[in-house]
């Protein structure tokens, strides 16, 4: 979107990898977090909050890896207002081209009295010490007042002013429990803007407990915020965070009303949404604005007639604008490797040659079964590619089941010792397949969640299975795609098994932070 003199620039601060990962059931390993971070950089976010380094050695290493390998956005690490937290964050982001330390302390009466057991003066003192320490490591320091929207406005202005004097460059106002309203948020930011130095950036961080996170974020911008903190698909603790794609497209579509612009490459929005959904195991509801399956679908006859005559009758934005191609890309069993690579490039995937080969083999297998392979089929194949060492790989399977029959699964795997086969029973064909895999690998995680959805339409639709599992104290997530549900389930389960072998996953015992 071309900037005009009337348009103010809004920085997009993405916290999918920190606040979003705190969603119950989400467990991202280092490779998955890095993959999302690279996509966020392609998306054009201004800041990536890569994690909470003090939470665990693994989280510190995950943030460090992003800081070393991802270029473009500012890379931030979150830290409570304490020496250990801030030093850990400093170590984590030191390799970034543009490092930021984001430190916070609670400022509402209930948090200061009940959680911190501190008087207001002591809270201000601790905030100032934290900002000064952070500033000794980096030039870019953000300070957040946790539960700001339930704080006294005069005290909020006081602690922000002190933080700015200590060296904070961005001052963040979190609606930590999703309590405020747009009118209150707009007025609060207008008040703070009048009270604080002009050189600092005011920021908003909204939660969706009342379904107002996006509206509150936009109201904050109207009041003077020039940074908005949000997550892809709106994932986050409890009801989630403000949705990045909804905020960006509201500004883009209604620039005539809001007068704001961002640096987001909107055609990367849908790809980012699918990637986060797949790796986090959190599905996007069909009616989700911008990225839901039904966001650009029309079933009403009146609507269909209107769209056929002129898309603008019922579509306020084009699907292509957010990366959802309206045209169907068709490939088939006669398509060659060059055409396959060209199709992937057209869809925005830049893959190394050693990854194209295995994908092409799976594409040919899928084309033999389907005849024609659509763009969504290809996306599903690429998105399900493994970033986990393939100690075990599926070579074949067969299921026997029916009414009044106990399902039996025959599975053949490629193992470090060559091909191996096993047969097992189960309450259903999927469980039977899992039991057979367990016999062959010696690894039997505990199933915690199972989700299946059709990636494409029609009777030969590609199905995507998403599984959450636990192995000891480690949480794991796997996905698999195939035209056969049992095959997709087996592929997802093997992904989890291979993660166990590789020592991947996320401990269930980590410190969490709310801002």
pLDDT in tens, 215-264: 999 999 999 999 999 999 999 999 999 999 999 999 999 999 999 999 99
Q: Does 445 have pLDDT greater than 60?
A: yes
At residue 74, the pLDDT reads 98
Pick from 344-358, 364-378, 415-429 the range whose average pLDDT is largest. 415-429
At residue 478, the pLDDT reads 84
Cα 303 to Cα 429: distance, rounded to the nearest angstrom: 42
Burial bucket for residue 485 (CB in 10 Å: 0-12, 13-18, 19+): middle
At residue 509, the pLDDT reads 47
Confidence of residue 428 (pLDDT cuts 50, 70, 90): very high
Task: Please give the CATH topology (third level) of the domain spanning 393-506.
Answer: Double Stranded RNA Binding Domain (3.30.160)
Is residue 124 within 8 Å of residue 162, measured between CB atoms?
yes
Is residue 427 within 8 Å of residue 407, measured between CB atoms?
yes
Q: Does 351 have pLDDT greater than 90?
A: no
For the ranges 220-234, 302-316, 363-377, 440-454, which has the lowest average pLDDT?
302-316
Instruction: Tell me which of 402 and 334 has the higher pLDDT.
Output: 402
Task: End-to-end CA distance of the chain: give it in Å, rounded.
Answer: 31
Please give the CATH superfamily to which domain 8-280 belongs: Aldolase class I (3.20.20.70)
Q: Which residues of 305-339 are buried (b: 16+ CB within 10 A; e: fewer)?
A: ebbeeebeeeeebebeebbbbeeebebeeebeeee
Q: What is the pLDDT of residues 31-68, one digit of tens each?
A: 899 999 999 999 999 999 999 999 999 899 999 999 99
At residue 300, the pLDDT reads 53
Pick from 120-134, 274-288, 447-461, 470-484 the range whose average pLDDT is largest. 120-134
User: β-strand 201-206 against 372-373: which pairing, if any?
Assistant: unpaired
Q: At what angle do helices 120-135 and 153-166 cross, to 10 degrees?
A: 30
Q: Does 326 have pLDDT greater than 80?
A: no
Binding residues: 19, 205, 207, 241
At residue 318, the pLDDT reads 85
Confidence of residue 489 (pLDDT cuts 50, 70, 90): very high
Confidence of residue 111 (pLDDT cuts 50, 70, 90): very high
Beta strands in 89-199 (DSSP E): 99-106, 141-146, 170-175
Q: Does 298 have pLDDT greater than 90?
A: no
State mean pLDDT over 196-206.
97
Confidence of residue 2 (pLDDT cuts 50, 70, 90): very low
In whole numbers, what is the pLDDT of the chain averaged over residues? 89
The structure tokens 């026997």 sit at: 400
At residue 510, the pLDDT reads 45
Is residue 478 within 8 Å of residue 469, measured between CB atoms?
yes
DSSP 35: H
Q: What percent of the chain has pLDDT over 70?
A: 90
Q: How is residue 288 written in tokens? A: 């989700």
Domain with CATH 3.30.160.270 in the chain: 393-506
Distances (CA, A) of 381 to 327, 388, 455: 19, 15, 10
State mean pLDDT over 282-296.
89
Burial bucket for residue 417 (CB in 10 Å: 0-12, 13-18, 19+): exposed
For the ranges 167-176, 362-371, 401-410, which has the lowest average pLDDT?
362-371
User: β-strand 463-471 against 393-400: which pairing, if any?
Assistant: unpaired
Sign of the C-alpha dihedral, residues 235, 139, 137, 145? Answer: negative
Q: Does 69 have pLDDT greater than 90?
A: yes
Confidence of residue 133 (pLDDT cuts 50, 70, 90): very high
Q: Does 500 have pLDDT greater than 80?
A: yes
Is residue 46 within 8 Å of residue 247, measured between CB atoms?
no
Q: How is residue 465 written in tokens? A: 């299975």
Q: Does 460 have pLDDT greater than 80?
A: no
At residue 404, the pLDDT reads 83
Domain with CATH 3.20.20.70 in the chain: 8-280
Confidence of residue 328 (pLDDT cuts 50, 70, 90): very low
DSSP 445: P
Binding residues for Mn(2+): 19, 205, 207, 241
Secondary structure element (H or E) that encloses residue 364, with its range: helix 353-370
CA–chain centroid gap for 308, Å, is 34
Confidence of residue 4 (pLDDT cuts 50, 70, 90): very low
Is residue 257 within 8 Å of residue 251, measured between CB atoms?
no
At residue 320, the pLDDT reads 86
At residue 335, the pLDDT reads 76
Q: How many Cα atoms within 13 Å fall on the side-chain side of residue 62?
A: 31
Q: Does 270 have pLDDT greater than 90?
A: yes
> What does the radius of gyration of the chain's CA atoms come to, in whole angstroms?
25
Beta-bridged to residue 464, according to DSSP, are: 453, 481
Confidence of residue 308 (pLDDT cuts 50, 70, 90): low
User: β-strand 141-146 against 99-106: which pairing, if any?
Assistant: parallel
């Amino acid at each position: 979107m071309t900037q005009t003199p009337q348009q103010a620039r809004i920085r997009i601060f993405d916290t999918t990898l920190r606040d979003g990962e705190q969603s119950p059931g989400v467990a991202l390993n280092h490779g998955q977090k890095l993959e999302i971070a690279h996509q966020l950089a392609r998306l054009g976010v201004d800041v990536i909050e890569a994690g909470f380094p003090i939470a665990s050695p693994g989280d510190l290493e995950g943030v460090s890896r992003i800081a070393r390998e991802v270029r473009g956005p500012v890379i931030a690490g979150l830290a409570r207002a304490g020496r250990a937290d801030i030093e850990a964050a400093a170590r984590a982001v030191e390799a970034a081209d543009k490092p930021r330390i984001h430190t916070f302390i609670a400022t509402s009466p209930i948090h200061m009295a009940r959680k911190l057991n501190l008087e207001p003066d002591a809270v201000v003192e601790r905030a100032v010490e934290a900002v000064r320490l952070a500033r000794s490591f980096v030039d870019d320091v953000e300070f957040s007042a946790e539960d700001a929207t339930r704080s006294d406005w005069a005290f909020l202005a006081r602690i922000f002013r002190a933080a700015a004097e200590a060296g904070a460059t961005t001052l963040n106002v979190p609606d930590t429990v999703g309590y405020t309203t747009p009118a209150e948020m707009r007025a609060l930011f207008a008040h703070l803007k009048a009270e604080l130095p002009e050189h600092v950036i005011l920021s908003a961080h909204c939660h969706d407990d009342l379904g107002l996170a996006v509206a509150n974020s936009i109201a904050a911008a109207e009041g003077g915020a020039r940074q908005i903190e949000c997550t892809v698909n709106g994932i986050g603790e409890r009801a989630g965070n403000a949705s990045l794609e909804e905020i960006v497209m509201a500004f883009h579509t209604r620039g005539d009303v809001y007068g704001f612009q961002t640096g987001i490459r909107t055609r990367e929005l849908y790809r980012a949404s699918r990637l986060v959904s797949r790796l986090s195991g959190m599905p996007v509801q069909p009616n989700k604005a911008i990225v839901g399956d039904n966001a650009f679908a029309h079933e009403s006859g009146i609507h269909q007639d209107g769209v056929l005559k002129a898309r603008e009758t019922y579509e306020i934005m084009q699907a292509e604008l957010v990366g959802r191609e309206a045209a169907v890309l068709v490939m088939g069993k006669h398509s060659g490797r060059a055409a396959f690579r060209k199709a992937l490039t057209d869809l925005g995937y830049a893959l190394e040659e050693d990854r194209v080969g295995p994908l092409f083999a799976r594409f040919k297998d899928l084309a033999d079964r389907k005849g024609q392979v659509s763009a969504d089929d290809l996306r599903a194949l690429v998105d399900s590619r493994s970033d986990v060492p393939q100690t075990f790989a599926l070579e074949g399977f067969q299921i026997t089941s029916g009414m009044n029959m106990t399902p039996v699964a025959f599975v053949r795997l490629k193992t470090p010792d060559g091909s191996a086969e096993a047969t097992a029973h189960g309450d259903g064909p999927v469980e039977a397949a899992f039991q057979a895999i367990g016999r062959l690998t010696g690894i039997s995680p505990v199933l915690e969640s199972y989700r299946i959805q059709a990636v494409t339409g029609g009777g030969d639709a590609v199905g995507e299975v998403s599984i959450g599992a636990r192995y000891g104290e480690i949480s794991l997530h796997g996905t698999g795609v195939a035209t056969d549900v049992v095959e997709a389930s087996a592929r997802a389960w093997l992904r989890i098994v291979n993660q166990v072998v590789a020592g991947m996953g996320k401990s269930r015992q980590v410190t969490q932070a709310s801002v």
